[in-house]
């Protein structure tokens, strides 16, 4: 934990000027404090604040969902939940807001900070347990988030880990392959798990070597 916090502190030094310059003229909601009563997923919680319990969704980070489990994400759905629980479970936290405070479902959209200033949204990305997402108009830290995701990917942290060996398929299948850019998983073209991939997040590879060399991992379901 100490080294992790040291890393986060290093980021905070770079965050201070972002805060000072980036927010001028923005509509701001005051920060609120509350106690986490339940961790719902890797990127959402229930927060008790005053007399209310609010559902809070983290800005800028999306952790793997159960429905994406066919892409090997099941394990990381659980792990991102556990990391979020370790970070915020039962704790008093601060929420800071961007331009839009609530989503259409009424959930709070927030940057989440521990009392020791750990930036939870950033931690999840830094340790490779989520992808950076930009949902306009909330983009105060989008460059930082993209950088952290890139950093986690480039060193293979968390769900970006590349195993040392990926066994060849027993039936001799040799492509072509369909891949999910977001989670960097490649599939056989008939795998049911490719049906949910939005077109902009889909990629094709002619060879297994191409996919592996770009950091894609084989699907645990269709084992391409
Ligand atoms: Zn598959």
- Which residue segments constitute the domains of the chain, with CATH numbers given? 2-159 (2.40.50.90), 164-218 (3.40.10)
Tens of pLDDT along 163-191? 656 677 888 898 899 998 877 788 999 98
Q: From the CA of 70, how far away is ligand 1's center (Å)?
A: 7
Tens of pLDDT along 30-54? 999 999 999 999 999 999 998 899 9
Q: How much is the average pLDDT of 152-159?
A: 79
Q: Which residues contact 194 (CB under 8 A, 6 or more apart)?
A: 178, 180, 187, 202
Q: From the CA of 15, how far away is ligand 1's center (Å)?
A: 39
Q: What is the pTM of this model?
A: 0.64
Return the pLDDT at 5: 56
Percentage of the chain lying above the pLDDT 90 cut: 49
User: Half-sphere exposure of 220 toward its Cβ, with a 13 Å CA cutoff?
Assistant: 10
Q: From the CA of 214, how far away is ligand 1's center (Å)?
A: 17
Q: From the CA of 188, how far away is ligand 1's center (Å)?
A: 6
Q: Which residue has the higher pLDDT, 65 or 204?
A: 204
Tens of pLDDT along 9-30? 444 444 433 443 344 445 579 9
Query: Judging by DSSP bridges, how do beta strands 217-218 and 185-187 pair with one another?
Result: parallel
């Amino acid at each position: 934990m100490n080294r992790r916090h040291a890393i986060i502190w290093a980021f905070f030094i770079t965050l201070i000027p972002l805060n000072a310059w980036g927010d001028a003229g923005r509509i701001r909601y005051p920060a609120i404090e509350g106690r986490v009563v339940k961790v719902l997923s890797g990127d959402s919680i229930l927060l008790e604040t005053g007399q209310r319990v609010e559902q809070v969704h983290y800005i800028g980070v999306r952790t793997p969902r159960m429905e994406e489990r066919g892409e090997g994400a099941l394990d990381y759905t659980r792990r991102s939940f556990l990391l979020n629980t370790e970070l915020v479970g039962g704790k008093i936290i601060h929420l800071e807001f961007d331009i839009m405070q609530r989503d259409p479902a009424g959930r709070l959209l927030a940057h989440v900070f521990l009392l020791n200033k750990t930036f939870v949204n950033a931690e999840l990305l830094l340790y490779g347990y989520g992808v950076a997402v930009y949902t306009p108009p909330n983009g105060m830290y989008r460059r930082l988030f993209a950088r952290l995701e890139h950093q986690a990917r480039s060193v293979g942290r968390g769900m970006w880990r590349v195993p040392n060996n990926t066994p060849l398929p027993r039936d001799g299948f040799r492509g072509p392959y369909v891949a999910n850019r977001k989670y960097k998983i490649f599939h056989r073209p008939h795998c049911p798990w490719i049906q949910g991939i939005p077109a902009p997040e889909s990629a094709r590879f002619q060879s297994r070597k191409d996919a592996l060399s770009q950091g894609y991992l084989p699907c645990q379901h269709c084992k391409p």
